[in-house]
Amino acid sequence: MSAAKPLVDYSVYLVTGRELLPPGKDYLESLEESIKGGVTLVQIREKNADTGEFLRIAQASKAICHKYNVPILINDRIDIALAMGADGVHIGQTDMPVDVARRLLPANAIIGMTCNTLEHVRKAAQDGVDYVALGPVWATQTKKVAHPVVGVRGLGELLDVLEGTSVKAVAIAGIKSANTLHCMHGSVSPAGRALDGVAVVSDIVASTDPLSAAKRIATIVQAFKAAPAPTFSLSPSYAADAFTKGVGELLSAVRNHSPLVHQITNNVVTTQSANATLALGASPIMATAPEEMPDLSSAAGFHYNQNRKPVVFDPVGVGATTYRRTSAAALLNAWQPTVIKGNAAELGALANSTEVQARGVDSVGSGFADPAAFVRSLARKERAIVVLTGVTDYVSDGTTVVRLSNGHPLLGEITGSGCMVGTAVATFCAGASTAAAVARGGDEPEDAKLVRGDMLVAAMGGVLAVTIASELAGVRSDVKGSGTFLPAFIDELGALTPEKLAQYAKVEVI
């Protein structure tokens, strides 16, 4: 009777690389410190060592790993794995076939495989691997890759193939503590299949303090795994009232705390966006220099993710050119948006849909056949709140979809109205984040996460504030057209109250 396979925690999967060690750091010392810091699985990778040296390194590594009950795998070399009694092997697409490796290795051996495409994942699952390493997620200097970068968003499609299987999955290439949370959160498949962990090389091996480096990543992965999935079980009639009440509470939070809202936006609309922010009660800062981002993030893309602050992404005219589409994809792989807001053409471009086409920053066509299903699907795919703007607006967190039916025709006749919706959404998100921090006494725990339910209400709040203010401005006697409408609209934004929002809001949960 063969021994059972060892139980494997894939949370923090260390891939060694002695050539990356900092000067004066001993390899075995680094390995033991990394395990003490939270590494749960180790792969020994020795691309340049001869067989004798590889075997000696592997045997010494095994002694340390098994001291802490951490499984050890060997990269590529099945002969080394057999000779030193490894727990398994990791093989690439051009290495020994899985069925041959199974015949050579003990029945309880762990076999993993690198997968870069949907077909790779399907084949690996069919061949009976225990886990797959999906990537490259980002470009890396530690290993030359033969396949294009998958990106965080591409991981979800690969994970989707594993639905219904027992195959585990880790992300690999370019993983470090600064992007681990984005990788874990942003890669979940639409059906809810998440990564089991991350494979890390240089962020731990090249560190002078591998214990702390491993601990940072382990803390993030465990916090992500421990966080419950958001659920919304309110009845439609009650939920609409509850959401509208929540919007009013967030408006009060904005007015009470005047949160800072950093806006990187088109020069054409900076004045309107800043005025709209001020009218709602927040403090705008219109800074665009890359050098300022780290400093601003401590008060307010990537640096906001690091500080657990909400990020609103408004991909203006993203479907108009190839450059805009590729830039948007690069941004979404670099950081995790809290809210994605756009018109039908913009969101259609992000989703690779052909239902709606772009004409500059505008949409061409009748819109989506089922906008509610579209925003729900895109929210699940992008792991963000999605706001679809139009004559009727739709907001979804991937579970709940809310239809908002306020607005005035003059809103579409002024420059920057869409950008002001994005501004208002960001302002309400800032209000929600600030109110939550104040409720905690100002302390931000290391593993804190934004409450997706609050961000759903915040996104609704931004849309409702703009559309209701436009209705109130549009019927004023001093408004004669678009020229007089804009200042009246800013006035009405400033005059909004929770009571007005509750009175005029047209909200339907669908």
Long-range contact list for 469-474, CB < 8 A, 24+ apart?
469/493, 469/496, 470/406, 470/407, 470/408, 470/410, 470/411, 470/417, 471/406, 471/407, 471/408, 471/504, 472/500, 472/504, 473/408, 473/410, 474/408, 474/409, 474/410, 474/411
Secondary structure E strands in 172-248: 197-200
What DSSP character marks residue 318?
T
Q: What is the DSSP string of 119-148?
A: HHHHHHHHHT-SEEEE--SS--SSS--SS-
Cα angle 194, 198, 204 (rounded to 5 degrees) comes to 160
Burial (Cβ within 10 Å: 0-12, 13-18, ≥19) of residue 171: buried
Instruction: Supply the residues annotated as catalytic.
Output: 419
DSSP alpha helix (H) spans, 227-321: 236-257, 270-280, 293-299, 302-306
